[in-house]
Structure 1
Amino acid sequence: MKYSKYLSLFFLIFSLQSCSDFLEQEPGTQTSIDELLQNKKGVLQALTGLYTELEANLRGERYAAYADLQGGNIKFTPTISGGNRGQISPPANLEQVYSFDDLALTSNFRPFYDGSYDIINQANLILEYTPRLNDATDEEKNQIMAEALTIRAYAHFLLSLVYSQDYKYTPDASHLGIVYNTESIKAGIQYPSRKTVAEVYTLIIKDLETAITDYSSASLLPGAAYSLFNRNSTKALLARVYLQKGDWNNAYNVANDVITTSGVALSASADYVAQWAQADLPISEILLEFSTPKDTEGAASSSMSQVFGYTSATSYQKYVASNDLINLYEKNDLRKQLFLTQSLQTLVNGMLTGVNYNFTRKYQNNAGYVAFRLSEMYLIRAEAALETNRADLAMADINTIRARSNASLLTNTTNLKENIFLERRKELCFEGFLFFDIARNHRDISRNDGCIANVCSLTYPSLKYVLPIPTYNTNLNPNLKQNESY
């Protein structure tokens, strides 16, 4: 792990990762990169570092909490101690974003933006050097490149969600997307422009389809198979991309492919709640969960519990479930048991009072970042079936998820679109979906319980459904156009 961190730092300093971070190239830099990536061992070490960077970028509170916070699934806990004990305030890392008032000059999300393009540039370096390896077989090189391609596509997709309006914001998706980098920045100055959203999705899909073709049987990296991209998890990402695009036939077909051929089954009702509580192990239906980084003694150095965890009444994190979310569950729904209710001292009318807060059980102990699991594929298939006039199939998939949770089954297809939206909100909460689901369905934002933002509601369409490109980056790149209103 220490070597992975060193490797990531090496790339940060020496390879000009950000698409618009045009630092001067140090003498000898190109030789250093050549030496590092001249053989299979070096490339695999670079790939390990790439996964480390990706996991850290997703696990950080900015991205981990963003979609659920903006959509209304999350509220905040009170300050634990000190002069502000019991007061509730938004965390500094998301304070501006939370009020839909992020500032380009001091953007809360600049670390995510820069980190994402760091990841993309590292992936591009691996893609450029891997074909030249003399000590790797063609199958090994294809596997390495498939993983790097997938990570490149994934990072671009996440950037598009945050910095571009939804795919159908304009009829032909001709509105501004993001910069899509397919070459590394190793030397010289480059001033790339943002592509349209249509162009960005075309490139994402191309990368993923190429990767799916190139995957071999297993990664060359050590570690749990569920923590590394493979053909199944890449298909899951592709299904998600098609869903976000509104390409319903492809979304249905790819999600169905994962469901029927991946060899992964839905977790059973009997141990669904218990599986989420397992220490160090993901839920059985996982398609991809990034492992938590660990020190030399095997102890987790950081995990998702640092965003959502509860240890005691004097040791807990900032983000908990809003009653807007909790009240959606039926009384006997097993998923209500996925919340840990704790009384915390809160200032109410100037007096410290015990108030109940609901922490998610999904991310206690040493929980890793849940990237893809099979339940999402059922929900994608259901929505795609409905949009292609197969309402009965859609209802059957929703009922599969509801039956597993001991929720009442749907008996007709009335209001099925709304039911699918709500089922995604309940099943996938705290997994980074709600705000993006709201945007792609062209819905308004309404945050009620616990909302302390200057703005708690937004009417679609709104320029505030996307964040500003950090000023640092637009200043460096004259072709990097800012989002409107920032």
Structure 2
Amino acid sequence: MWLNRCTFFCLISITCILSITGCKKLVHVDEPGDSLTMSTVFSNDSLAQAAVAGLYVKIMSSPKLFLNGGMSLYPALSADELQRANLPNFEDQFFNNSISPTNTLLNTNLWKAAYTYIYQCNICMEGLQKSTGVSAALKKQLLGEVQFVRALCYHYLVNLFGDVPLALGTNADVNAMLSRAPVDQVYQQIVADLTNASEELPDYYNLHTRPTKYAAQALLARVYLYTRQWGKAAEIASIVINSSRFWLEPELNNVFTAGSNEIIFQWVPVGDRMNSAEGFIFVPVNQKLNYWLSKDLLDVFESGDLRRLKWVNPVTIGTTTYYYPYKYKVITSPPPIHEYNVVLRLAEQYLIRAEAYAQLNRVDSAVNDLNAIRSRAELPVFSTTISADECLVRIEQERRIELFAEWGHRWFDLKRTNRANAVLNSKGSSWSTDDQLYPIPASELLLAPNLGQNPGYE
């Protein structure tokens, strides 16, 4: 464990202090009565490490939150990946693409959680930059870590909500009056944070449970893909692929285990007897199933695809057989093999580079990357004689299968490729183009008068 016992006991106090400070935009909170105050949190290496660890504890505190299962659940419901049981109306709204601005999950699990993490990142950045007691090497590493986390938060916020407030400091009065920054401006900040992080972070961390240089570059490659900067996306993805730090796990059942060689970055669960949030959310207990894969998704698996065999599992309830996501196998309790919260893995980098190459009309290279993913699934490889347009169609299909029920990839892919209307019109809901963005929570509009609502939710 990377924290000593004394420092670990400080963690809860520090987490509480950071959480209280981070929420001052939303509510008035008296200063904590704890003797450990913000003036001492960043006074030495041990406490500074505990402060950043407190951020991770907050992120992993409960399943279905923004960066702990929430991105694998809510966008998958909004897309065409999941069906659901008789769930609370707040979750049903995501499935029906009819999210109310008063939806509690929208506010608490997504928006408020994201900005809580961002404010804690900002607090850590300011504290580290002012500190004279933290060693230079550790200060550099921790600054890189919180820049990575802030970029990760903004990446998902901007893809869920569009224009969002760009809070880069801790002044509560300033943050309360922020208006929504344009998407392009938010992406500029994401790129700046990830570029800085990639220069500050180490190449390696045990089991990849802390952000590293390659984690920052992997997310940066995705950002360049989303912003249609094909050359940069291919270049950065190549750095990660060619680093020799990671490789595609030949056995699909090992991809999401804690010791997987494919994992670029993962968080360690902190809940008692917990493994991954996705395992907790998707794997049924005593034949009680809340979510299962849609027929649309099941029907597009090719015959013989090992991902259908190993990442999809059946359960029969009554006379009906359902198929649920089975990338993660464990729910709770200590298993023989641990499963952590996998945030970034190498297969996505191959798919990023394949798409970038296809957009650049480098079809041979794109097909080679695509075939690396298909070969592992024991599917026939594609010929390099296909057209760039056909290659892009096959990449969309491969991303759909490889990344299903994982960090909202399908929802974001449909939107960024302008395919959402064509695909989701047939979902059976009252789909509208405006549904591609989630509404700004109504409670936030009351607290922050300059935000403004997304179209279709007025």
Q: TM-score range by the shorter chain?
A: 0.7 to 0.9
Does structure 1 residue 263 correspond to structure 2 residue 270? no
Query: 1:301 deviation in Å?
Result: 7.2
Does structure 1 residue 74 correspond to structure 2 residue 51? no
The one of 113, 116, 122 equivalent to 1:115 is 113
Q: 1:265 to 1:218 in 2, by over 3 A?
A: closer
CA contact (8 A) 1:30 1:186 kept: no
CA contact (8 A) 2:13 2:34 kept: no
CA contact (8 A) 1:310 1:364 kept: no
CA contact (8 A) 1:305 1:365 kept: yes
State the AA in 2 paired with 1:99.
N
Does structure 1 residue 364 correspond to structure 2 residue 332? no
Tell me the distance in 2 between the aligned counterparts of 1:344 and 1:37.
Answer: 54
Task: Give the aligned partner of residue 134 of structure 1.
Answer: 132
State the AA in 1 paired with 2:402.
E
Task: Give the aligned partner of residue 195 of structure 2.
Answer: 209
Does structure 1 residue 470 correspond to structure 2 residue 441? yes
The one of 408, 411, 428 equivalent to 1:435 is 411
Corresponding residue SS for 2:188: helix
Task: Give the aligned partner of residue 456 of structure 1.
Answer: 429
Corresponding residue SS for 1:320: strand
Q: 1:188 to 1:286 in 2, by over 3 A?
A: closer
Q: 1:441 to 1:243 in 2, by over 3 A?
A: same
* Range that drifts further, 378-387 or 123-132: 123-132
Query: 1:265 deviation in Å?
Result: 0.9
Tell me the distance in 1 between the aligned counterparts of 2:94 and 2:9.
Answer: 32
Q: Deviations over 1:6-61 (max 9, x none)?
A: 54333222x1437x525366498999222333332222111001112233434555
Does structure 1 residue 425 correspond to structure 2 residue 412? no
Q: 1:107 to 1:41 in 2, by over 3 A?
A: same
Tell me the distance in 1 between the aligned counterparts of 2:352 and 2:71.
Answer: 22
Query: 1:137 deviation in Å?
Result: 2.3
Q: Which runs of 4+ in 1 moved over 6 A?
A: 27-31
Q: 1:282 to 1:96 in 2, by over 3 A?
A: farther
Task: Give the aligned partner of residue 336 of structure 2.
Answer: none
Does structure 1 residue 101 correspond to structure 2 residue 98? yes
Tell me the distance in 2 between the aligned counterparts of 1:32 and 1:420.
Answer: 51
Q: Deviations over 1:423-470 (max 9, x none)?
A: 000001111200100000001354699x6xxx53636xx111111111
Query: 1:384 deviation in Å?
Result: 0.2
Tell me the distance in 2 between the aligned counterparts of 1:419 and 1:457.
Answer: 28
CA contact (8 A) 2:249 2:255 kept: no
Q: 1:59 to 1:356 in 2, by over 3 A?
A: farther
Tell me the distance in 2 between the aligned counterparts of 1:431 and 1:371.
Answer: 9
Task: Give the aligned partner of residue 310 of structure 1.
Answer: 284
CA contact (8 A) 1:289 1:372 kept: yes
Does structure 1 residue 250 correspond to structure 2 residue 232? yes
Query: 1:228 deviation in Å?
Result: 1.2
Task: Give the aligned partner of residue 364 of structure 2.
Answer: 392
Task: Give the aligned partner of residue 4 of structure 2.
Answer: none
Q: Deviations over 1:111-157 (max 9, x none)?
A: 11011111011111111111333333211110010001111111111
Task: Give the aligned partner of residue 172 of structure 1.
Answer: none
CA contact (8 A) 1:150 1:234 kept: yes
State the AA in 1 paired with 2:43.
Q
Q: How does 1:212-291 map to 2 (within 5 A)?
A: 212-216=198-202, 224-268=206-250, 271-272=251-252, 274-276=253-255, 278=257, 281-291=258-268
Q: 1:92 to 1:306 in 2, by over 3 A?
A: farther
Tell me the distance in 2 between the aligned counterparts of 1:6 and 1:136.
Answer: 19
Q: Could you list the runs of 5+ residues in structure 1 that have no partner in the other structure?
A: 77-87, 165-176, 346-353
* Range that drifts further, 47-56 or 88-97: 88-97
Corresponding residue SS for 2:317: strand
Counting aligned pairs with the same residue, the percent is 25
Task: Give the aligned partner of residue 456 of structure 2.
Answer: 485
Query: 1:107 deviation in Å?
Result: 4.4
Structure with the bigger RCO (C-alpha within 8 Å, sep 6+) is 1
Tell me the distance in 2 between the aligned counterparts of 1:44 and 1:249.
Answer: 37
Tell me the distance in 1 between the aligned counterparts of 2:152 and 2:115.
Answer: 11
State the AA in 2 paired with 1:442.
N
Tell me the distance in 1 between the aligned counterparts of 2:264 and 2:354.
Answer: 18
Task: Give the aligned partner of residue 19 of structure 2.
Answer: 12
CA contact (8 A) 1:179 1:195 kept: yes
Corresponding residue SS for 1:212: helix
Give the TM-score normalised by structure 1.
0.82
CA contact (8 A) 2:48 2:134 kept: no
Query: 1:306 deviation in Å?
Result: 1.8
CA contact (8 A) 2:166 2:181 kept: yes
CA contact (8 A) 2:233 2:353 kept: yes
Give the TM-score normalised by structure 2.
0.87
Q: 1:423 to 1:3 in 2, by over 3 A?
A: farther
Tell me the distance in 1 between the aligned counterparts of 2:351 and 2:174.
Answer: 46
CA contact (8 A) 1:16 1:23 kept: no
Q: Which of the pair is proportionally richer in helix?
A: 2
Tell me the distance in 2 between the aligned counterparts of 1:30 and 1:184.
Answer: 21
Q: Deviations over 1:374-433 (max 9, x none)?
A: 000000000000111111111111111111111122123241111000100000111120
Task: Give the aligned partner of residue 170 of structure 1.
Answer: none
Q: 1:382 to 1:178 in 2, by over 3 A?
A: same
Q: Could you list the runs of 5+ residues in structure 2 that have no partner in the other structure?
A: 1-7, 332-338
* Range that drifts further, 150-159 or 186-195: 186-195
CA contact (8 A) 1:341 1:356 kept: yes
* Range that drifts further, 371-380 or 100-109: 100-109
CA contact (8 A) 2:266 2:344 kept: yes
